[in-house]
A and B are shown apart, each in its own frame.
Chain A
């Protein structure tokens, strides 16, 4: 038997003998790509040691390596790799789409292996096929068990590349039709990226290899040799001065782009490529076919994404956040891929119209209601009966929300304080109490869910208002009606905006002074200092703001994201990029009054009285909704702090490796870990796998429906038209500015049209600066929609079809009334 096969002698034809990974490496080496030299122990050697493994649920005993194999390995190392001191050892399975191989077994990669320990590394690599994680997957019935295919793997041994920089290249999965290349890069070994330990730099290249964007992120962690034992790879902090510096030059980015294109031609399909630089020398470490979806279990239910909750998320929830929210969600919902969904069968029970499943899904997605639906009188009668029962059971709480004043809602702070101070209240219990109340006789201000749900009255009052205005004043332009019930200056969100503007101007004044305080501020913004200058007007205002609003932050519902109080430097950068002084002054309250006067001009006096009554109700509901949002964001902060207390304990005990890992375990797993009933290594494997999965899901577009074909967008085939939902009417023609993330916020100039995939409260200063807003995701009730209405900025959301056509710098015409965008120049 040939115990060893050099990589240089391997091609794709050998896939069944050496596994997919090895076959791809050999092909690349033969084609002249810079692949680290090495050799493969083929699958035949595995069979010779384990036999044919047909039952993957039985873990065999670790074998003793046969002498002939050891002799061949030693000989190969000496002849092929010479005086190498460190090796990598990893598995290569024959089925590249094997679910298990993509997750559990794939992580059997050993770095910095000295030749003297190669035998143990080979055995460990083989035995990782039966790790507890792998067995758990198989017990859950994943493909491998059902396929009946025997379990087998080859082992690849290569020279270790002590990478300074590494990353991955792949085709952008969000927009595959654009043929754009997506590159991620960070310091040290690529394991930090593939294991989701770091937020890498991200570059995007066009189909013709032009650099479209390069986002430098804060790279906190890296994988490097352990400073005390260079045979071990260790997760370390990146030195401060390198965290925010670019990993790749433009030349290097384009070089990687070329390699991606060439390998796609070589293997005749798009590839995901792992690369590394040692100094200036580039190496290609792996290439595998791109699969957007791993093998998946079927989901039994028909699900529709629930946009009012999903809008506030920039990516899927972490597993712990998902686990905790799942415990408090009403049973009409479901969690899928880290997002909130509704079960269609439950919503059909309360569907009063003759809507089929697809049309109902459209309604849930807050798209235009189908015109052909009619009211079902039978369903209405049944619903009336249930509503009567519901009124008896919970009507008292509903009535309380109608009269709840801002002072009543403010009492939520006392509940938050009580829950925060009680160490016996666990994170799940804290979430339950802060949403559903502590006891049945709590003040309504303590029962957040009711306060938030009462916001649904907004739709009822708006519908009544529209009917009244259409009846009383058929000549009135109904698209302008929204301006008569938005623009109330007393809103919490606008107060926040004004305070941010004020802080921003104080910061810029402080920076303009050439003194020690200004230098300290600059160091803090660069991440080189952690304290603000003492006795500075800006510091006092900043601390006051953080005291009141420090619990806010980007992506608030995601418990893993720090609030502004925890990450003041992030907020400082938001302030720095807020050019409030350059905005032309705009009398928004005057515009609101003008819109109201215009409406009144179309009405008779008694009609004005009636319409004003409805408008007052709408104002009250909006104020209540926005006010309760300010308070409900406190609950995320409290739950997060409780989780961080547990994390501190687990880190000190050595159960967790780095801060942030805790959010990749469920609460039950955290409890098991702290009680030592969950093995630490198994927990780390879980965390690593889930970080990878979350990163994969974050790159994919949101799946709006599951097991339900979405209603096709009628404009999808008309590629020159871009359409969405009108969140705030109006028309504007200006330059489009595509802002991929908050780190690019300084790109947007006043008077330009902001184009973003997603916004949340951290984007508020940008929204304020824009002449128009286009958001790819979300609904009319999203953050962007609500703020746009308050600020009277034309806005469309849910721009699904044709969003990819808007390029940075194009002149466009946004017609929010119609919900369309026209590109005027290329």
Chain B
């Protein structure tokens, strides 16, 4: 139960915490973000003191999950989430010519029977 409560509260809190951490580097002046961060951290500490340190591990786990997910999202979007089909439905945008040239031998203009592509 502690874990359920800890993770349920910890996950959204971690997202906000991470966002506030990032805001330290986003803005030229990091003071407002620092104040928000300090308030958040105080709030979490109060919560931990009130409920008990048993929440510490679930909270920490939630933060690790969110941090990892954030990193994975960056990689995923750049590597797998982008790149779309160009529908070549007209012959004026033919396939890469280099395929025709380099992947297959050029037909030699000689007396020998030419090879089929």
Residues of A in contact with B (beta carbons under 8 Å apart):
55, 57-62, 99-100, 102-104, 130, 132-133, 135-137, 139-140, 142, 294-299, 301, 303, 319, 322-323, 326-331, 333-337, 391-400, 403-405, 407-408, 411, 432, 436-437, 439-441, 443-445, 666, 668-669, 672, 677-679, 682-683, 686, 689-690, 692-693, 696, 706
How many angstroms between the C-alpha atoms of A294 and B89 in the bound complex? 9
Q: Which of A136, A432, A668 has the most CB of B within 10 A?
A: A136
The closest CB in chain A to the CB of B100 belongs to: A136
**Partner pick for A328 among B70, B71, B82, CB 8 A cutoff:** B82
Q: Which of B26, B71, B92, B102 has the most CB of A within 10 A?
A: B92
The closest CB in chain B to the CB of A135 belongs to: B100
How many angstroms between the C-alpha atoms of A358 and B5 in the bound complex? 44
- Having A60-B114, A444-B22, one finds 12 other A-B pairs with CB under 8 Å, namely A58-B114, A58-B116, A61-B109, A61-B114, A294-B92, A296-B90, A299-B89, A323-B86, A328-B83, A407-B28, A411-B28, A690-B92
The closest CB in chain B to the CB of A436 belongs to: B78
Known: A58-B116, A335-B85, A393-B72. A103 touches B91 (CB 8 A): yes
Residues of B in contact with A (beta carbons under 8 Å apart):
11-12, 15-16, 18-19, 22-23, 25-29, 33, 65-66, 69-75, 77-78, 81-102, 107, 109-111, 114, 116-117
Which B residues are CB-close (under 8 A) to A330? 77, 81-82, 84
How many angstroms between the C-alpha atoms of A104 and B92 in the bound complex? 8
10 residue pairs from A and B, CB less than 8 Å apart: A139-B99, A326-B83, A331-B82, A398-B19, A407-B27, A408-B27, A443-B26, A672-B102, A682-B101, A683-B97
- Nearest chain B CB to A255 CB, angstrom units: 32
How many angstroms between the C-alpha atoms of A391 and B70 in the bound complex? 10
- Contact indicator B66/A334 (Cβ below 8 Å): no
Which A residues are CB-close (under 8 A) to B15? 391-392, 395-396, 399
How many angstroms between the C-alpha atoms of A398 and B18 in the bound complex? 11
- Nearest chain B CB to A258 CB, angstrom units: 32
Which A residues are CB-close (under 8 A) to B77? 330, 436
- Nearest chain A CB to B33 CB, angstrom units: 8
The closest CB in chain B to the CB of A446 belongs to: B26
**Partner pick for A326 among B18, B86, B111, CB 8 A cutoff:** B86
**Partner pick for B93 among A334, A445, A690, CB 8 A cutoff:** A690
Which B residues are CB-close (under 8 A) to A445? 26
Which A residues are CB-close (under 8 A) to B85? 326, 334-335
- Contact indicator B101/A677 (Cβ below 8 Å): yes
- Contact indicator A59/B114 (Cβ below 8 Å): yes
How many angstroms between the C-alpha atoms of A301 and B86 in the bound complex? 12
The closest CB in chain A to the CB of B107 belongs to: A59
How many angstroms between the C-alpha atoms of A397 and B109 in the bound complex? 61
How many angstroms between the C-alpha atoms of A398 and B12 in the bound complex? 13
Q: Which of A55, A102, A443, A445 has the most CB of B within 10 A?
A: A443
Q: Which of A130, A395, A411 has the most CB of B within 10 A?
A: A395
- Contact indicator A404/B26 (Cβ below 8 Å): yes
- Nearest chain B CB to A212 CB, angstrom units: 29
- Nearest chain A CB to B38 CB, angstrom units: 16
